[in-house]
Amino acid sequence: MNPEDITTVKSILSQPQKIAIIPHKNPDGDAMGSCLALYGFLKEMGQTAYVVAPNDYPKFLKWMPENDSVINFERENPKAVRLLEEATVIFTLDFNDLSRVGQMETTLKAVTADFIMIDHHQQPSDYAKVTYSDVTMSSTCEMVYNFIQYLGETDAITKDIATNLYTGIMTDTGSFKYRSTSSKTHRVVAELIDRGAENMEIHRQVFDTNSPSRLHLLGVALSNMVILPEYRTAYITLTQEELDAYDYKKGDTEGFVNYGLTLEGIIFALIFIENKEEGIIKISLRSTGDFSVNEFARNHFDGGGHTNAAGGRSELGMEETISRFNDILKTYKSELNP
Ligand code: 5GP
Ligand code: MN
């Protein structure tokens, strides 16, 4: 964050504000962790704040401190709209464009509040009064820690704030192993443990609370995996019928896409998940090394994200989507075999 922006934020927060904090649609651990941590921090600063999530999120995140205060835009729409309209400041966390909030976009485009963006995705849009964007960061949670540090308020980090920040850093770095994990990330995480984050317990709550049906669904996903060694690619498909057969709940497929990358020689992994209700195939893309799944998702599947982790969608059926994907993949043969 540049000194000018820090001064602007300090000046904004020196007055009582009505603040709304917003994660992207289908929020993940980093989105919820950063929003809930910022919420806790702003309350410590004596501000009035609300977290308004565009829609629901997985059960494995619902143990997080302050979770009960989250307002769901889909489920509590009139209240959510009123809070957004009344807000004087809106923080948008862990996304780079207002289109990432789904239905909430229309409301956000009409409000009068000043926006503050904190985000680490590529190609940030220009809608905020203050844009703190850094694509080299491991997570938005690490940036919220920095944000608090820039304001000179690290002593305000309570155990709950530390727990929420730790959760987001842990989930967005694949438990501290992705390329964006720096020595600074580890220093921040160490500080969060010192401030009360219980690292083992957080890990257990997120990763070791599976239902039997979720593990069985993983079995189906793995047996559906198609491996294309000539393209150093592996992809998984899951149809709505398969999801229904295993009592699918939101978040159950989280992390499945990464199994492709555990294969020796595979550098590009995808999962295609049918969503009959939305009439789309949701696509998650992952890579290792320089192959940019952000570009791939952006150019072909109406999506985006980071170099090594991105998302997208297709409005064709599963078979057509896979056939289109295979056609596109042919044009990447040399890029995937540098
Ligand atoms: P996931 O595959 O876990 O849903 O998302 C991977 C990364 O890509 C996350 O950082 C997420 O925010 C981003 N992402 C997921 N879906 C989309 C999308 O439809 N559009 C854009 N621009 N980014 C996405
Ligand atoms: Mn993130």
Same domain assignment for residues 168 and 264: no
7 CA distance to ligand 1 middle (Å): 31
Quote the pLDDT of residue 47: 98
The predicted-structure confidence for 136-169, as pLDDT tens digits, reads as follows 999 999 999 999 999 999 999 999 999 999 999 9
Same domain assignment for residues 140 and 221: no
The predicted-structure confidence for 26-40, as pLDDT tens digits, reads as follows 999 999 999 999 999
Going by alpha carbons, the residue nearest to atom 20 of ligand 1 is 303
Under the banding of pLDDT at 50, 70 and 90, the label for residue 308 is very high
103 CA distance to ligand 2 middle (Å): 20
**Domain membership of residue 309 as a residue range:** 212-336
Going by alpha carbons, the residue nearest to atom 17 of ligand 1 is 311
Residue 315 CA to residue 321 CA, distance in Å, equals: 8
State ipTM: 0.95
Same domain assignment for residues 13 and 143: yes
The predicted-structure confidence for 43-87, as pLDDT tens digits, reads as follows 999 999 999 999 999 999 999 999 999 999 999 999 999 999 999
Where residue 266 sits, what CATH number does that domain have?
3.10.310.30
Quote the pLDDT of residue 90: 98
The predicted-structure confidence for 202-260, as pLDDT tens digits, reads as follows 999 999 999 999 999 999 999 999 999 999 999 999 999 999 999 999 999 999 999 99
**Ligand 1 atom closest to residue 283's alpha carbon, by position in its atom list:** 2
Same domain assignment for residues 38 and 127: yes
**Taking the model in full, what pTM does it have?**
0.95
Ligand nearest to the CA of 297: 1
Quote the pLDDT of residue 160: 98
Where residue 62 sits, what CATH number does that domain have?
3.90.1640.10
The predicted-structure confidence for 98-113, as pLDDT tens digits, reads as follows 999 999 999 999 999 9
Same domain assignment for residues 161 and 183: yes
| Number of structural domains in the chain | 2
